[in-house]
Chains A and B, each alone.
Chain A
Amino acid sequence: MSNASLRQNLVHTLRQNVPLLPDHVDDQTSLIRSGILDSAGLFHLALWIEQHVGGSFDFTNYDLAAEWDTINDVLRFVERHRDRQRPR
């Protein structure tokens, strides 16, 4: 999946699961620290990331508010960890 379609897919997932998501969300909009993402929204975001990073990814070593706060952060996180999980 290209970066553009990954981004589109992410925004679509957020739109489906986060009623408080503002109409205009850019790549720098704070999602977690601003409180836009609540419990269920965060969980859906985590599921989306798990699906795109692959398999049984362990989130517990990360400060999620820092790593996933914006769409840019999430895409960078997926990119970084997808690369690590690819077979060499």
Chain B
Amino acid sequence: MGIEFIPYRPEHASAIARLQTHLWSGDEERNAAYFRWKYLENPFLPEPVVMLAMSDEGAVAMRGAFGSAWEANHSPDLLFIPCVDDMVVDPAHRNHGLMRPLMDGLFDTLAARGSQYLFSLSAAPVTLVVSLATGWRAVGSTDPLGRVARSVVVARHLRAARVPLLRRLARRLVFHSERDPFRHLDRSRRRLRRITMVREPRSEEMAALAKRMGNDGRIRHVRDARYLDWKFRNPMADYRFFYFDEQALGGYLVLHRTVSDRGDRACVSIVEWEAMSTKMRLALLDEALYRGAFANLETWGVSLSAPLRSELERRGFRASAQRTLRNPCHQILVRCLDPSVADWTLNGRPLLDVSQWDLRQLHSMAG
């Protein structure tokens, strides 16, 4: 049976939705919506760059690149950089040499379109190992910080006991938080004068605030209204927005959870958090913690300032003690498509130095 490596064409959409039941979610309709959103409606790379391995059975492997836009070193010019993602091989075809030609095809296409660098913003274990063996270099870990409620810790102990009665008790303890981690938040009737929680994003105002905040020249994803509008339409995500209002928007905190049955639906993440002052930032955080009563809350620690990190630690957030390949930190990876480039930089900022980045989980597909 021959395998053909070809670029995506519109007639492949349903084959991709089926193939991605091994990665994105078990729901083909949701996968089709996600593909449309991520690759066809992307504001920075509207023409999809997706390579497929096709057999008589249909699509058996895929690798894609979606668009992202960055700014660095105070330059007003946007830098459009494809993010490589969605590596999946049908289990029946794994370890048959499909990934290499698929990736080579993708890199050739991107190089022909003039891309110099590629990013991978949340490489999971298999992708990480394959990437490090194929010319990618690691910038650093996303440095996840987590805050786990006592009920979850107790439930873990009860489950480990392997006694049916205790396991049932464990299930009851965490049933609601696992099924709907926004339950407390959505039921809360608490109303504050300045802080509100809503389900709909105020993208224009968020973009205006991000612009008012300026930047320190680190490598950072663009946060304009068009991008935010698109990002918050992610069909694999469920968001809640906390806003701090003064005369204009003074701060925001965005919570995310995945709706995919292949992800951890019980885990909530703070994926973006910005405010005109530290006081506002902490007020947003405290309000989210109070109203949400989350069982399992995470955020990326990678670009947090030391004072903010200690504020999170004071509120119970902890870095994971040990990471192994089976329990990894996601990694930020970079690849240069031009072999003549020795120093990997973006507007003069070294790409392989994680302190040169201002990274938010929102800008990866984990947020």
Contacts and interface: CB of A to CB of B under 8 A. Distances in A.
Contacts of B323: 56
Contacts of B305: none
A2 B126 CA distance: 29
Interface string A34-55: 0111111111011100100001
Interface in A48-66: 50, 55-57, 59-65
Chain B CB count within 10 A is highest, among A36, A41, A65, for A41
Q: Which size class do B's interface residues fall under?
A: 20 to 34
B327 to A, nearest CB: 9
Given A55-B322, A56-B324, A38 B95 contact: yes
Interface stretch (A4-12, A15-23, A79-87): A15-23
Interface stretch (B36-44, B96-104, B146-154, B161-169): B96-104
Contacts of B138: 60-61
A38 B94 CA distance: 8
A42 B325 CA distance: 12
- Tell me the interface secondary structure of chain B in the complex: mixed
Given A59-B132, A62-B132, A64-B132, A41 B322 contact: no
B325 A20 contact: no
A75 interface: no
Contacts, number: 76
B322 A19 contact: no
Contacts of A62: 132
A40 to B, nearest CB: 5
Nearest to B132: A64
B354 to A, nearest CB: 11
Contact of B95 (A19, A46, A57, A59): A19
A43 B96 contact: no
B96 A46 contact: no
A47 B96 contact: no
Nearest to A18: B95
Contacts of B173: none
Contacts of A57: 324
Nearest to A41: B95
A65 B324 contact: no
B326 A20 contact: no
Given A46-B129, A64-B133, A39 B325 contact: no
Given A38-B100, A46-B325, A60-B331, A65 B95 contact: no
A39 B89 CA distance: 9
A42 B87 CA distance: 14
Nearest to B321: A56
Contacts of B141: 60
12 contacts: A19-B95, A35-B97, A38-B99, A39-B87, A39-B129, A40-B94, A46-B129, A56-B322, A60-B128, A61-B138, A62-B132, A65-B135
Given A20-B96, A39-B129, A41-B95, 12 more contacts: A35-B97, A36-B97, A37-B133, A38-B89, A39-B89, A39-B130, A40-B95, A43-B125, A43-B325, A56-B322, A64-B132, A68-B133
Closest 6 CB pairs of A and B: A60-B138, A64-B133, A46-B129, A64-B132, A40-B94, A35-B100
